[in-house]
Amino acid sequence: MSLDGRYDSHNIFAKIIRGEIPSVKLFEDDRVLAFMDVFPQSRGHALVISKVSQARNLLEVEPEVLSELAAATQKVARAVVTALKPDGVVVTQFNGAPAGQTIFHLHFHVIPRYEGEALGRHGEGGMADVEALKALASQISEAL
């Protein structure tokens, strides 16, 4: 899919927002949702999405929504660092399929990095154990 197109209200993140698909949540308010990535690139990989925007990428998002997402992403990154004590943290966001975007609902990745541990490939790792994700989410949520 290119940078241009229509928002697909049946994408997995839209289904998560509507409660049609479960997620392991870190926090949620009326505008933002943060949850664990079920195909993590690293232990503690989290996602931050807007619940109110139908922007597919950074180029389409409303400025006020982008501001909310940036603040929420910073909040999650701080909590991940506090809770999991990684050696570093990557914050990333993809725009268009050639850039690596696989779900066309604007989202930010917060990916802890641990010295000596390889980073998994975006969207290509195996599905995480849900109980392990819940344990990590509990640690991170306590730091929020």
State the catalytic residues: 107
Phi, psi of 29 (to 5 degrees): -130, -165
HSE at residue 31, side-chain half, CA atoms within 13 A, is: 11
Distance CA 78, CA 140 (A): 9
Distance CA 107, CA 101 (A): 9
Burial tier of 40 (Cβ tally within 10 Å: 0-12, 13-18, 19+): buried
Among 21, 53, 7, smallest CA distance to 108 is for 53
Distance CA 58, CA 88 (A): 24
Strand-pairing partners, residue 14, are: none
